[in-house]
């Protein structure tokens, strides 16, 4: 692997504008992130891959409260102006945005034994189930939890209907996980399932249940068992601590 330049902060060009200067590091991957569910799902997988293969990555912390993710240098990487973003220096700086797309990218390029995924051709049904749960969370659990949290703690006006609607919808989605996990340990895979990126993609949203007005997971015992077991993994603990 070629050497990379050392980590350096945002620099200013001669015009005084902030621009991003490529960090120098031996690590192939650079993650732009913040301590939120979408950021954590990626840092969890990166920590799992680090434990499994010694894969190294650098972290660039983004302060979303300062709207750093809306600055021009960041929008060049992700026009959507949100975290996370992954830059793969070992593949010519190829850039990936959208948290679930980053998980799939990392599996394709950095999990050679497919420890956290399935082979799309050799294990088509397991792979499809994994995708189903990733899409389900990406289109439902994430956005609904995000809106519930917004209307409870960030909205400039109090709108009880919106608060209730998004919390109710999040509760409904917890009920879907409860059904799925009634007779299995993980969301996808044969038998009781296998811990994969489908679990990593969903669990950080459930970790934020208090932000959406759900005090306890006791109503959903199977979801709670899955959540507690996943939360105990060293990779998950380490991933939740990113960015430092
Ligand atoms: N669908 C996107 C959503 C990303 C997203 O909403 N990120 C939030 C943090 S969890 C963010 O950047 N918020 C700051 C903003 O909206 O400007 C993904 O999965 O990556």
* CA–centroid distance, residue 192 to ligand 1 (Å): 32
How big is the chain, counted in residues? 244
Q: Where are the domains of the chain?
A: 11-113, 124-239
Residues facing 194 on adjacent strands: 188
Q: Which two tokens stand for residue 64?
A: 């979303």
pLDDT of 10 reads: 44
Atom index in ligand 1 nearest the CA of residue 38 equals 10
List, chain by chain if needed, residues with CB within 6 Å of any ligand 1 atom.
36-38, 64, 69, 81-84, 98-100
Ligand 1 centre distance from Cα of residue 3 (Å):
31
- Ligand 1 midpoint to CA 215 (Å): 23
Describe the strand order of the beta sheet including 57-61 as a list of residue ranges. 57-61, 29-33, 85-88, 94-97
Domain 124-239 has CATH 1.20.1050.10: yes
CATH superfamily of 11-113: Glutaredoxin (3.40.30.10)
Q: How far, in Å, CA of 118 to CA of 113, rounded?
A: 9
Give pLDDT, residue 236. 98
Structure tokens belonging to residue 26: 């031996």
- Centre of ligand 1 to C-alpha 82, Å, is 4
What pLDDT is recorded for position 23? 62
Could you tell me the mean pLDDT of each successive run of 10 residues in the chain, 244 residues long?
A: 35 46 82 98 98 98 98 98 98 98 98 98 98 98 98 97 98 98 98 98 98 97 98 98 98
Pairing relationship of beta strands 29-33 and 57-61 according to DSSP bridges: parallel
Q: Residue 20: its pLDDT value, please?
A: 57
Indicate which residue's Cα is closest to atom 15 of ligand 1: 82
pLDDT of residue 21: 59
């Amino acid at each position: 692997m070629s050497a990379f330049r050392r980590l350096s902060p945002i620099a200013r060009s001669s015009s005084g504008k902030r621009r991003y200067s490529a960090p120098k590091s031996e690590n192939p991957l650079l993650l732009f992130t913040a301590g939120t569910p979408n950021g954590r799902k990626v840092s969890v997988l990166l920590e799992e891959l680090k434990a499994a293969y010694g894969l190294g990555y650098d972290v660039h912390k983004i302060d979303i409260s300062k709207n750093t993710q809306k600055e021009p240098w960041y929008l060049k990487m992700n026009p959507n102006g949100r975290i996370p973003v992954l830059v793969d220096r070992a593949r010519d700086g190829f850039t990936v945005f959208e948290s679930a797309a980053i998980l799939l990218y990392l599996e394709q390029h950095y999990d050679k034994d497919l420890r956290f995924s399935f082979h799309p051709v050799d294990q088509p049904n397991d792979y499809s189930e994994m995708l189903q749960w990733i899409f389900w969370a990406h289109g439902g659990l994430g956005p609904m939890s995000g809106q519930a949290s917004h209307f409870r703690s960030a909205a400039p006006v109090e709108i009880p209907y919106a608060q209730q609607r998004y919390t109710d919808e999040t509760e409904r989605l917890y009920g879907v996980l409860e059904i799925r996990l009634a007779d299995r340990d993980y969301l996808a895979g044969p038998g009781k399932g296998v811990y994969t990126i489908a679990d990593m993609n969903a669990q950080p949203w459930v970790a934020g249940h208090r932000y959406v007005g759900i005090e306890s997971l006791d109503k959903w015992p199977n979801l709670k068992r899955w959540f507690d077991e996943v939360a105990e993994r060293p990779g998950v603990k380490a991933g939740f601590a990113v960015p430092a």
